[in-house]
Amino acid sequence: MGRQQAVEAAILDRREVVNEAIDEDLPPDHPEDLYEASRYLLKAGGKRLRPTMLLLVAEALADVAPLSADYRDFPAVDDSTVDVLAAAVSVEIIQSFTLIHDDIMDDDEMRRGVPAVHETYGLSTAILAGDTLYSKAFERMLATGATPERSVRALSRLARTCTQICEGQSLDIGYENNPEITTGEYLEMIELKTAVLYAASASIPAILLGYEDAVDPLYGYGLDVGRAFQIQDDLLDLTTPTEKLGKQRGSDLIEDKQTLVTVHARQQGVDVEGLVDAESTDDVTEADIEAAVATLEEVGSIDHARETAREYVRSGKGRLQVLPDSEARDLLAGIADYLIERDY
């Protein structure tokens, strides 16, 4: 099995573990519509990259063979045990909460190839579903069985992460239609909006299990690969067909969202706002997007974004030296590469 296949298999294996845990940890409840809406995106799919990262970090820290340990009873440094699977479910629930609210704010109709939650259940129920998931995530993080001090620190990290995500989303909204945004401002925005949840996922196992020296390096790993993930996401919005992407290709351009590609293109003198002349996704054609992408490729903006993502991945992988040499550490390095090699 090649390295890429091994990484994909590791993600799939842990996705199944996380999916089973979600069913167990987030059971249907009353009122039914609220919990159906809350579970809707979780059941619609998703790669479970953040919880997979969390589980792999726990495996690497405890130096156990992948998938050989019971994630509900994971060994900490002081001979106590921790339910790291509850923590993994917690970060995935936060991810789903952010997607529900993102789709509402962006008025996106599709997510993961299905109608968005607010399209299916209505705006009010979608808002409540997102809020419910937000609360449930903290319940799950409190259910790990870690020592009180570590549990509070993990909860504090999750809370701070949620605040940062909101700050990043606010910046993202504020940056729309603003041609003066700099590269530094864009990178700050994606760190807050996207990368901090990867950083939390990578560092929370070290907090819960008591590996103090690993907390900061793992947080840095998560930040680096999270930035790379968002840059790749921005590229995929331009380069992946609508059917595969699960939403309208080129929607970022149409909605005047700032990306590393568009910031760089403006610096090369491109009239980014004039690339796609459409009021909404309904008015744009594949030919319009193809022409815009051709211009962005011609001025080097696509290549610039790809190389920046690669640089972040190289930096992130270097931080993994804090972990003992193991298959789990190799898989974490492979996931970093996968985040910028994926095509959807």
d(CA 33, CA 29): 9
What are the distances in angstroms from CA 306 to CA 42, 58, 76, 240? 29, 30, 38, 15
Burial class (CB in 10 A: 0-12, 13-18, 19+), 145: middle
- Domain borders along the chain are 3-341
pLDDT the model gives residue 55:
97
Per-10-residue mean pLDDT of the chain, 344 residues long, equals 84 95 91 92 90 97 85 94 97 96 85 87 93 96 97 98 97 90 97 98 98 98 98 94 76 89 96 81 81 96 98 98 96 96 83
What is the pTM assigned to this prediction?
Answer: 0.94
- Residue 13 neighbours by CB distance under 10 Å: 14
pLDDT the model gives residue 36:
93
At a CB cut-off of 8 Å and minimum separation 6, what does 84 contact? 54, 55, 58, 71, 74, 144, 205, 208, 209
DSSP state of 37: H
pLDDT the model gives residue 279:
64
| CATH code matching the domain that covers 3-341, chosen among 3.40.1360.10, 1.10.600.10, 2.60.120.10, 2.40.110.10 | 1.10.600.10
